[in-house]
């Protein structure tokens, strides 16, 4: 029978429950167990696809096209498994399903209530991911903190799961904070005690407590928490702030978390092999070289908006025993000729995806800089489109060349909706989401990076390269190095006679893993390392044009 591990959080949000849940998955998978992870989000949105990145960070796209919480990116990176839309359940989905069933008459005229109808729907979502994945262990993280009103139905459903699945098949982990008071120099346990008391008031007794802290947690504090929260001392696990999140599974391993879980849940497993993972962590902590990469976007104030890009860059750099320093650059600043000097200091430029006109001209400036200065450039989704727009403006000697997403009346719509999309009124109907095949053209940078001729990558966009401009832009130096199998869609474009200027219509960052970096990011980092040694090359002067704010 499937085993369930439930992760809740207390005291404050942003403690790293997602990393904790993912790390538990990693330590159990390393013991030969099949694992999957699910996120329960109490917000009323059906999914985060319509949310601003400022609200909830990046939208992580799965193979099946589901737009999900960014924590699912952490899950995939840690357990190295592709998840499905069943792995992200929101209050919006739950209430939508309950109301749809009520309208169909599925409840046979009964009064619909939070208990049992809403909680039953939540439990159905949890058991569904178990059946769909066939995993031996399902790890379920509940968003928010204990005490949040919107999270109560989810916690009640988790309480009921112990009765439904059996005590030996359920395990509860509570992640809390031990705050440090500068005035006394102490870590305080009282918030953790109150958080556990709140959880027990709901009917859930945690089997294990993870204590987040910025300072070492002594045995005396562990004993105190064990006493007041009614858990074993070895079930009180300190999680102090570390240099890299990929060190967390090693901390849990050294603390005996996996052995405790397997003992309590009567799980047979073999000894783990941490050689590759420890080597990766050591490379992160002791790099041999350092490069600087500029990430140009409009949400750079919130790094979580580009968390998968950041992690993919780190994966590729670590694999090459290199440290990557990220220069977060506002595309709006570049539009207004601010921060242009920072471009001079980078060894490579990444322009990630995005929607909307704000900051678009600053991204064009970054692409122009990379082309003229021969600085390695990696464009992701919109970043590829920006690269095409900039080349078209230069080739056609017309600054009005654009995407119809931003200028519907442009005389040169080099980026446009496909003809069969234009009559679809629903924007969701024009969105290309999820995994699509891409055929690579032999002799290109992309083909050399992948070392294969067919790949599958994840998309999240509406607009495409306009095929009417294929010939003219190829004459200008554009190489169409990745195409859909039928040849209709341009998936990868690169610039001829440039060290590395490549853009993908898809999001390669979603498939990068810490021990298996994405080929395009690896090739980009390699080009940036080469660039870091080219300090004497003569550089042309670029003067950006000032652009008014939208």
Return the percent helix, strand and coil in the chain, to nearest 5: 45, 20, 35
Q: Which residues lie below 8 Å from residue 215, measured CB to CB, with a gap of 6+?
A: 180, 187, 240
Q: HEC profile for 410-464?
A: CCCEEEECCHHHCCCCCHHHHCEEEEEEEEECCCCHHHHHHCCCEEEEEEEECCE
Q: How many CB atoms lie within 10 A of CB 526?
A: 18
Q: How far apart are CA 462 and CA 447, in angstroms?
A: 25
The structure tokens listed for 310 are 């950041």
Note whether 464 and 419 are within 8 A (CB): no
d(CA 380, CA 229): 48
Please give the structure tokens belonging to residue 86.
């069943």
Rounded-to-10 torsion of CA 44, 46, 49, 54:
10
Which pair of tokens denotes residue 188? Answer: 């305080």
Which residue pairs from 400-407 have beta carbons closer than 8 angstroms and sit at least 24 positions apart in sequence? 403/463, 404/463, 405/357, 405/462, 405/463, 406/357, 406/360
Sheet of 3-9, strands arranged across: 88-90, 35-41, 137-142, 3-9, 170-177, 208-213, 236-240
Residue 168: how many other CB atoms lie within 10 Å: 13
Cα separation of 515 and 59, whole Å? Answer: 23
Contact 487, 477 (CB under 8 A): no
List, edge to edge, every strand of the sheet that includes 413-416.
402-403, 413-416, 464-465
CA atoms lying within 13 Å on the CB side of residue 56: 20
Q: How far apart are CA 293 and CA 114, in angstroms?
A: 49
Rounded CA gap, 287 and 297, in Å? 27
- Euclidean distance between CA atoms 322 and 197, whole angstroms: 46
Q: How far apart are the C-alpha atoms of 500 and 521, rounded to whole Å?
A: 11
Catalytic residue among 332, 361, 457, 509: 509
Q: Which two tokens stand for residue 56?
A: 């909830």
Q: CA 529 to CA 517: how far, in whole Å?
A: 16
Alpha-carbon separation of residue 437 from 232, 381, 475 (angstroms): 51, 15, 26
Q: Is 381 part of the annotated catalytic residue set?
A: yes
Find the catalytic residue in 174, 402, 507, 518.
Answer: 507
Catalytic residue among 7, 322, 381, 438: 381
Active site residues: 381, 507, 509
């Amino acid at each position: 029978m499937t085993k369930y591990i439930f992760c809740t959080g207390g005291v404050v949000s942003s403690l790293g429950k997602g990393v904790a849940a993912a790390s538990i998955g990693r330590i159990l998978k390393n013991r030969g167990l099949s694992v999957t992870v699910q996120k329960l989000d109490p917000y009323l949105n059906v999914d985060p696809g319509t949310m601003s990145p400022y609200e909830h960070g990046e939208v992580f796209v799965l193979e099946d096209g589901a737009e999900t919480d960014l924590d699912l990116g952490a899950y995939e990176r840690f357990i190295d498994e592709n998840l499905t839309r069943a792995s992200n359940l929101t209050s919006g989905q739950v209430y939508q399903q309950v109301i749809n069933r009520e309208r169909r008459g599925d409840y046979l005229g009964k009064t619909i209530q939070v208990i049992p109808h809403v909680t039953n729907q939540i439990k159905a979502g949890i058991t569904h991911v178990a059946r769909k994945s066939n995993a031996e262990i399902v790890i379920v993280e509940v968003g928010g903190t204990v005490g949040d009103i919107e999270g109560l139905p989810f916690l009640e459903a988790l309480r009921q799961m112990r009765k439904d699945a059996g005590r030996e098949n359920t395990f509860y982990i509570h992640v809390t904070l031990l705050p440090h008071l500068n005035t006394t120099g102490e870590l305080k346990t009282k918030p953790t005690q109150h958080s556990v008391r709140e959880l027990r008031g709901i009917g859930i007794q945690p089997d294990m407590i993870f204590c987040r802290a910025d300072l070492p947690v002594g045995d005396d504090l562990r004993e105190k928490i064990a006493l007041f929260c009614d858990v074993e001392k070895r079930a009180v696990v300190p999680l102090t702030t570390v240099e890299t999140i990929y060190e967390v599974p090693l901390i849990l391993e050294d603390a005996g978390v996996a052995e405790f879980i397997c003992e309590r849940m009567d799980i047979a497993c073999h000894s783990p092999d941490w050689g590759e993972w420890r080597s990766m962590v050591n490379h992160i902590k002791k790099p041999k070289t350092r490069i600087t990469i500029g990430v140009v976007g409009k949400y750079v104030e919130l790094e979580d908006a580009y968390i998968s890009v950041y992690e993919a860059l780190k994966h590729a750099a670590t694999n090459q025993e290199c440290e990557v320093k990220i220069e977060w650059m506002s595309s709006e600043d570049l539009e207004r000729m601010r921060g242009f000097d920072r471009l001079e200091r980078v060894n490579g430029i990444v322009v990630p995806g995005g929607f909307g006109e704000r900051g678009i001209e600053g991204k064009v400036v970054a692409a122009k800089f990379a082309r003229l200065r021969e600085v390695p450039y990696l464009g992701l989704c919109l970043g590829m489109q920006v690269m095409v727009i900039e080349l078209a403006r230069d080739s056609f000697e017309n600054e009005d060349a654009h995407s119809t997403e931003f200028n519907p009346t442009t005389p040169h719509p080099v980026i446009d909706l496909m003809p069969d999309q234009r009559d679809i009124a629903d924007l969701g109907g024009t969105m290309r989401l999820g995994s699509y095949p891409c055929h690579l053209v032999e002799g290109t940078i992309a083909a050399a990076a992948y070392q294969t001729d067919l790949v599958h990558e994840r998309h999240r966009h509406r607009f495409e390269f306009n095929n009417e401009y294929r010939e003219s832009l190829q004459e200008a130096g554009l190489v169409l190095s990745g195409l859909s199998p039928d040849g209709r869609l341009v998936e990868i474009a690169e610039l001829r006679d440039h060290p590395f200027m490549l853009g993908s219509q898809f999001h390669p960052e979603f498939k990068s893993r810490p021990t298996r970096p994405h080929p395009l990011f690896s090739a980009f980092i390699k080009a940036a390392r080469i660039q870091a040694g080219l300090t004497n090359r003569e550089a042309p002067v670029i003067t950006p044009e000032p652009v008014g704010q939208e």
